[in-house]
Structure 1
């Protein structure tokens, strides 16, 4: 179960988003919790759906991710949302034919019985009933927050859709202890460090990108 808070970092934040990220990369503690070393991660995500958007309609998403040389496939199903806080069931496995088949079994009622060719899916091309609907590139700085959460500072680009990057901060609870009160305390401390400029946003990167693709603007 993924439980996280997402905060948009607008251009109006004092010094700009990049300066805030640099500061958060140097902070030693957040809300009293020790911050771990900074990990730099390059993410390239391709999201798939049917031609009728069956997964989006079911508050689900299917993602092919390349992360520092690894290929992963992820299925997420949103189970709850309140402002910046979202809870999702998440199933993530290394990309190989058997694991992909097992993961797709969970959404067969949504995508139908048509075969999903592995090679096409793995290369981000149309694969049977699944079509690539969005590409997202993310430069991430990641730090552990004690043993309670993970802090991710994301510079997000939507190739061909937006000329400027989008900055957001994710605070994801540790899988074995999703304490919402702790996440809220971390959110409050981040707001203080950013002068109150952060904007709570429960939207996923997929939802935001689809809004940009469909309507030509951030939603």
Structure 2
């Protein structure tokens, strides 16, 4: 990344983009955000004032990129599964009974408490979302999801891995899953990376496409 700033411009950036997170975990997330941005040229930063979750955007000859922090990305994306959107199973089993539990919960919650039970089966908010738009496409053609865990505990890191896999499997663009059924967690349209502090016995890559990065590791272009 090239930084050609004069003293006046540098002073203005420091005054308007200084970040002072309230939690150390947020600072650790931003550390990885900027490590990713270091992989690209001509990055245009956005003001981190709490009014927007867009951190930066940039363009290449063929594509446009937008990076979000602590966000579900653009309005085209959805990290949410609703009861009304799923095909209800007909055979007995865990999923069949789960649907019946949620149906009955909605009914009884309304009867007992005069409130409408939520329709959500699953929902999440990734730490990092990078979207790539090719040509004039209105929807992302590829999405990178980063899950950050500020931890040295392998069990907590493994929890983050599960969250990452859920984000990758369930993400939708314009209402449709981004990954085809035959390519769930193995497609090139949706990729992911788990970022941690230092976890004992951790390796950077397995046979899976999922990559693990620990504090201080190098980061290559995710998309």
Q: Assess same fold via TM > 0.5.
A: no
Between structures 1 and 2, the one with greater strand share: 1
Q: When the two structures are superposed, what TM-score results if normalisation uses the length of structure 1?
A: 0.30
Q: When the two structures are superposed, what TM-score results if normalisation uses the length of structure 2?
A: 0.29
Higher Rg: 2
